[in-house]
Structure 1
Amino acid sequence: MSQSNHLIEKKKSLLFDLFNLYENYSYSLDSAFEIFLEAESIQKEITQLDMELSDVEKEHFTETYREVWEAIVQKHREMMALINVENTLLKNQMTQVNKKDQVIHSYIDKNQSMFIDRQA
């Protein structure tokens, strides 16, 4: 097996590792975070392999495994959508908490001045 074929087989293996990683996504933030971390290291390895392959080999590989790449991208988008929804919910909750804090502080400030007046 030539060096080029070995690199292509290694890249294929990494691609399917990445695909399986995204397929095992459990639709939770913790799962998404773990997958993003693992996917990043796999993508770095793929990038290293791409530096050793010719442009023709990379193009042929991409065309051969286009559907796998598209499935990975789709799962990645789903995970990002979940993160964006959770981020929006968290921001809304923080806004509500801040409003409650403002009401409480306003009430306490008014009551403190009343207590001071009563003591005088």
Structure 2
Amino acid sequence: MAELSPVLAEHLRSPRGVGRPQWPCAEGRGSNPACGDDLRLYVGQADGALRLRFEASACSAVIATASLLVEALDGASRAFAEAFDVNAAIEAAGGLPRHRSHAPRVVQRALDEALVALDRTSRDTS
């Protein structure tokens, strides 16, 4: 954990939004086959606000990054989520070591996929 910034280390110690939600949601996945990281990001929407949770079998950097994302986007608007830059958020939180640079890409892929899936879910129920 010494390789993580204090902000990211706190997200690793107490990750936000862990677990499969009990409410209707879309799912996005991000992975890194080289190291076996696997992230499932769940996104739902109620009254114009997003709700997020995640499950991960992944390294500390992916877990901390996913937690940071959930904290930043849970309750946010769809437009805010679409414009959210995971890399910029990680840099603002102190950055990651070079050998952990895959983490923001894994999380961004899961977010992008979940938002697309949320669109499909919304169309299917309307």
TM-score bracket for the superposition, by shorter chain length: 0.3 to 0.5
> Between Structure 1 and Structure 2, which shows a larger proportion of strand residues?
2
> Between Structure 1 and Structure 2, which shows a larger proportion of helix residues?
1
